[in-house]
Amino acid sequence: MVMSDIVRFFDRFTFILLLFIVALGAFLVFSASFSSGNNYLMKHLVKIIISLILFFIMLSFKTETAFRWSFLLYIFLVAVLIIQLFTGKIISGTKSWIKMGFLSIQVSEFIKIPVALLLAQFFSKVSVLGWGSFIKMTTFVLIPFVLIALQPDMGTAFILLSFILISVLLKRIKFSIIIFSLIVLIAGSFVMWNYMLKPYQKDRIISFVNPGKYSKSSGYQIIQSKIAFGSGGLSGKGYLKGSQSQYKFLPTRHTDFIASVLGEEFGYLGVSFLLLLFFIFFYRQFNLNVRSDEEFYFIFLFNGLILFQFLINILMITGLFPVLGIPLPFVSYGGSSMLAFFIGEGLIFKMKLNNFIQHE
Amino acid sequence: MYTEKRKISRDEESKIVFIVNIILIVIFVFLLFSFWNLQILKNEHYKFLSSRNIIKDIEIKAPRGFITDKNGVVLAENRLSFDLFVIRDYIADMDRTINEAVKLTGLNEETINNRIDKYRKFPGSYNIPLKRNLSFKNVIYIESRSDDFPEFRIEQEPARFYPFGKIASHIIGYLSEISQNEYMGLKEKGYKLGDMAGRSGIEKTYEKFLKGKHGVKTVIKDNLGQIHNIIDIEEPKIGDTVSLTIDIALQQYIEELYGDYNGAAGVVDLKTGGMLAMVSKPNFDPGFFSESFKKEEWNNLINDDSKPLNNRFIQGLYSPGSTFKIVMAIAGLSENIINTNSGVTCYGSAKVYDRVFHCWNRLGHGWMNLQEAIQNSCNIFFYQLGKKIDIDVIAKYGEYFGLKEKTLIDIPHEKTGILPTRKWKRKNYNQDWYPGETISVAIGGGMITVTPAQILAMISTVALRGKRPKFHLFKNNKRDKKILKEYTPEFYSVNIEKRIFENVIKGLFMGVNEEGTGRGARVEGLNVCGKTGTQLILSLENPNYKKLVKQRRFTPHSWFVSFAPRENPEYAVMVFVENGGDAGKIAAPMAGKIYRRIFGYE
């Protein structure tokens, strides 16, 4: 593929849309860290630039190569996750960080890519998900899920489960498997609740049901986030003028609760604008032609995961879903998530190019 | 070539894309609606919550009004003190906070828990006082750890200060923090939990003047309680200055006269009823109560054997002793039982109703008329009078002189003594009155008891020849140097002939100026009139009297009641010394010194 082709067929519209979302995010990260005196913006911009570089590297990558190496990459990252479990230092309550020079990297964010690649390949080989293939598929997801959950990072682990959810949409599945899965899900949550969840995680779920009861823990976060949103009104309190954000009532406002800053400072109009950007982005990323099944599945799996994470984050910060520490894709401060999503999108943009170029 | 790779049919693909598009639309429409609900429909609610988050009202405590003596000398003022508070909102771990509080305050866990609990109905942002008047060292220590313990806060607040320490403590009274129950009744009057209120003395009586009005500072605070902005400020208003009739220099002089004796003394301005001095010994440190939350320290003070909190002047109940002979004499004359020529020969003892009663002078006074009997405080004369007068008549005259009621001096918790009558004895003992008991009452013993204040009221009535002044300590209250209320003197009148008073007063004059029992109070050039009273604790008939009486607790109480000058009297002075011994040797000379001081005869 030559450079001129890339320039010609590159989906500039969606890319610019994405840049808009990222720019809005940087704008909000600045506001979120404004009063605390930490300059998160510079670090955030550095991460955006690295992400964009990786994005363009992906464009020059052969899609087939990515698929071919996906299994090895998967094994490698799983191995890193295992090593991390035994040797990792605990940073902010989890072992999910790896220090690499000046960058801290969350491996758990990157494993989304090989899992999506593997599943896409796998889906293109089977027509109907029977017991055998279902178990195989679930295993691909559950290995990293368990490893990440043990770190413990329930949020990131939980997002991986979206792959199983999406597979129901993409593949015909035996009815008995769905029934069985539901039973396992119910039994599993029972076991989790009683034996696996840490008290603070239970608190989060309880406080989701009854936020007033835990006004200092996660219930407090939900309440403060809703206050931030709700007090924003139609047009917001103005940039850098949100009292919830600037007087630090809003928790982890530069990461998980970044959209609350938007809601408070730019109001319903600001939030609607972001929703519109995301809607067009998702619409364009789902409505496209690709040349192969595996690319098709990859696009739906990976974009589906982004949509899922986007939805859970928005629901969480408006009190419609329990607090799970997950960032808003492309917007929140957080390098690993940004990097992983841009790498994945790089592959997807490349797949879009493939289609045009093959047509000629 | 690439199409061969595809196994999914076009139909299948469009079906998936279609479903995904529907899901997308559903999700985004749902989000738009739920944000509409949150941001537009419930906007007012959340706006309110958001402003409540950051906008906090902070109490600015009003300094209490000053208390001054008649010359404007400050008896109670305010000094800034560093007080330690805890704020519930910033407590992350209650156990950790309490452990730290124990270290910082020296209070025990239970006390701290109780204090925090007391404020449970207040907003979490309220400053709960833990300890007042921190040392500077403690202040620095706590401030240096404010990052670790954001829940502890040090504020400077006005604290009561009494420059004269223990002097006049019973007049000034003391403050202590209001309780939760009191708060319920007081919150409408602008009180907050943690506020101090007067508990006794002037601090209590004139609480409403002294209180002042708290101010409010409306501020913007962040989630750690850091103040970012002051939006509005309503300055506190200091309470009124309350001026007293007390002369603190005189008060201090009298208190020091007592040395290590206990007792009570009062000096009243007979033209107004205003008290120049009002002493009760032992005294106490009034500052103690506003600082301490420690139960043990309170108990120590309350259970002290010498009862320092007891204001003996208005609460101490004692036999009036020979001072009561004044009332007896006036009663006898008014009822025409005796006249100025009546006389009795004193042989040192007399048999009355088949019982031998002694005079204090075992050798006997010889023949005495009324005035001489007063001058020498002859018991025998009054025993004979007691034989001829009914107890109910005595009570009637006692009542005329204010011995049945409170003097209504303007500090709380005043008591009244017992002025016995037949009815009273029937009611309290279910017994008849025995005439022999009247004989004891006739010399101020037996069942009769009085407070030193009542005895001062009695002698004041004699001094003013039948006008009894209402005692008071309040002179006026001022706000911004303007007098708001000035005391107007009040007197009660007794309908007794002036001639009778003059007769008795002659005896009182002789008692001081003509080698009587009260000669120790004599002041050259000032016609002091007075009467001693030496009230035995032990009966003279006690076989070990001579030995036991040397012990302080068996030594008689000493009274001296007086006024001066004889004509147009200006001041009445009452001195009472617990276990002081012979009144002529202790109480009367003290009164003499007081007169010299007041009239400048030094």
Nearest-neighbour CA in chain B from A86: distance (Å): 31
Q: Is the ipTM of this complex over 0.90?
A: yes
Per mean pLDDT, which range of A26-40, A198-212, B348-362 is the poorest? A198-212
> What is the pLDDT, as a whole number, of residue B190?
86
Q: What is the mean pLDDT of residues A44-49?
A: 93
Contact indicator for B207, B197 with CB cutoff of 8 Å? yes
Tell me the mean pLDDT in the region B397-414. Answer: 92
**At a CB cut-off of 8 Å and minimum separation 6, what does B233 contact?**
B60, B215, B216, B217, B218
In a mutagenesis test of the B interface, which of A62, A227, A320 is the best target, namely the one with the most B β-carbons within 10 Å? A227
Of A213-222, A337-346, A349-358, B127-136, where does mean pLDDT reach its minimum? A213-222
Among partner residues B1, B6, B39, which is closest to A267 by beta-carbon distance? Answer: B39
How far is it, in rounded angstroms, from Cα A244 to Cα A257?
11
Question: Picking from B410-414, B452-456, B541-545, which range would have the lowest pLDDT averaged per residue?
Answer: B541-545
Q: Testing the interface with B: which of A167, A224, A247, A306 to mutate, by most B Cβ within 10 A?
A: A247
Q: How confident is the model at residue A93 (pLDDT cuts 50, 70, 90)?
A: low
Residue A359 has pLDDT above 60, yes or no: no
Sign of the alpha-carbon torsion through B33, B39, B40, B43: positive
Task: Tell me: pLDDT of A204 over 60.
Answer: yes
Q: For A247, which of B3, B35, B54 is closest by C-beta distance?
A: B54
What pLDDT does B294 receive?
A: 63
Question: pLDDT digits over B156-180, tens only?
Answer: 888 899 999 999 999 999 998 888 8
Cα separations in angstroms, B446 against B138, B312, B316, B393:
58, 20, 17, 16
pLDDT digit string (tens) for B54-100? 888 888 889 999 999 999 999 999 988 888 899 888 887 888 888 88
**CB–CB of A307 and B223 under 8 A?**
no
| Residue in A227, A296, A307 closest to B49 by CB | A227
CB atoms within 10 A of CB B352: 18
The answer to whether the CB atoms of B17 and A247 lie below 8 A apart is no
| For residues B520-539, average pLDDT | 91
Query: Which residues, numbered 299 to 358 in chain A, qualify as contacts with chain B under a Cβ-Cβ cut-off of 8 Å?
Result: 300, 304, 307, 311, 314, 318, 320, 358
pLDDT of A216 strictly over 60: no
Mean pLDDT of B545-563: 88
Which of A232, A248, A314 is opposite residue B39, by nearest beta carbon?
Answer: A232
Q: Is the pLDDT of residue B585 over 90?
A: yes
pLDDT for position B119: 85
Which among B35, B50, B92 has CB closest to A243? B50
CA B67/CA B124 separation, integer angstroms: 35
pLDDT at A176: 87
The tokens describing B131, both together, are 């300890």
Region B281-305 average pLDDT: 77
The mean pLDDT of chain A is 87
Of B2, B13, B50, the CB nearest to A227: B50
β-partners of residue A335 are none
Q: Indicate the pairing of strand A128-129 with strand A172-173.
A: parallel
* Per-residue pLDDT, A278: 97
Whether pLDDT at B589 is above 80: yes
What integer pLDDT is reported at residue A91 of this predicted model? 65
Nearest C-alpha neighbor of B442 from the set B382, B505, B370: B382
Going by pLDDT thresholds of 50, 70 and 90, the confidence category of residue A218 is: low
State the average pLDDT over residues A325-337.
91
Question: What was the pLDDT predicted at B422?
Answer: 94
Nearest to B173, CA basis, from B150, B210, B145, B204: B204
Q: Is the peptide bond before A114 cis (omega within 30 degrees of 0)?
A: no
Helical H segments across B43-147, by residue range: 43-54, 94-105, 109-118, 136-144
> What is the share, in percent, of chain B residues with pLDDT greater than 70?
98
Interface list for chain B against chain A, based on CB atoms closer than 8 Å: 1-3, 5-8, 13, 16-17, 19-21, 24, 27-28, 31-32, 34-36, 38-40, 42-43, 45-47, 49-51, 53-54, 92, 220-224, 228
Whether the CB-CB separation of A256 and A42 falls below 8 Å is answered with no
- For the record, the structure tokens of B237 come out as 């208003």
Exposed / middle / buried, residue B101 (Cβ in 10 Å: 0-12, 13-18, 19+): buried
Say how far apart CA B33 and CA A271 lie, in whole Å.
12
Q: Are A112 and A160 spatial neighbours (Cβ–Cβ below 8 Å)? A: yes
Return the closest-CA partner of residue B553 out of B577, B585, B578, B590. B578
Higher pLDDT, B253 or A63: B253
Residue A214 has pLDDT above 50, yes or no: no
Which residues from A are below 8 Å from B34, CB to CB?
A: 318, 320
Q: What is the pLDDT of residue A324?
A: 83
Give B180-227 pLDDT, tens digit per residue. Answer: 888 888 888 888 888 889 989 999 999 999 999 999 989 888 877 778
Most confident of A37-51, B51-65, B306-320: B306-320
When pLDDT is averaged across residues B264-284 and rounded to a whole number, the result is: 96
CB A350 within 8 A of CB A63: yes
Q: Tell me: the pLDDT tens digits for A19-43? A: 999 999 999 999 998 877 777 899 9
Which residues in chain B are closer than 8 Å to A231, comparing Cβ atoms? 43, 46-47, 49-51
pLDDT: which is higher, B289 or A1 = B289
Residue B309 has pLDDT above 70, yes or no: yes
Q: Which of A154-163, A321-330, B260-269 is most confident?
A: B260-269
- Give the separation between CA A155 and CA B297, rounded to whole angstroms: 56
User: Looking at residue B1, what is its pLDDT?
Assistant: 37
Please, are residues B270 and B182 in contact by the beta-carbon 8 Å criterion?
no
> Residue holding tokens 């009036």?
B320
pTM: 0.75
- The whole-number pLDDT of residue B2 equals 44
Does the beta-carbon distance from B13 to A296 stay under 8 Å?
Answer: yes
Q: Report whether the peptide linkage leading into residue A329 is cis, meaning its omega lies within 30 degrees of zero.
A: no
Structure confidence at residue A89 (pLDDT): 67
3-state secondary structure of B435: helix
Q: What is the DSSP string of B529-582?
A: EEEEEEE-SS-TT-TTHHHHTTSGGGSPEEEEEEEE-SSS--EEEEEEETT---
What confidence tens digit (pLDDT) does each residue in A302-314 have?
Answer: 999 999 999 999 9
pLDDT of residue B293: 55
B25, closest residue in chain A (CA to CA): A279
Q: Give the span between the Cα atoms of B296 and A181, in whole angstroms.
A: 68
Contact B7 A124 (CB under 8 A): yes
Give pLDDT, residue A360.
Answer: 45
CA–CA separation, A15 and A21 (whole Å): 10
- Cβ distance A283 to B21 less than 8 Å, yes or no, reads yes
pLDDT of residue B308: 87
**How many contacts (CB atoms, under 8 Å) link A and B?**
120
Query: Is the CB of residue B123 less than 8 Å from the CB of residue B56?
Result: no
Q: Locate all alpha helices (DSSP H) within B389-497, ordered by sequence.
A: 391-400, 422-429, 435-442, 452-463
Of the pLDDT bands very low, low, confident and very high (cuts 50, 70, 90), residue A79 is very high
Instruction: Report which listed range, A32-36, B346-350, B485-489, is most confident.
Output: B485-489
The position carrying tokens 């909190």 is B309
B295 has pLDDT over 70: no
pLDDT by residue (tens digit) across A287-301? 988 888 899 999 999
The residue ranking higher by pLDDT, B265 or A98, is: B265
pLDDT at B360 over 90: no
Pairing of strands B241-244, B67-68: parallel
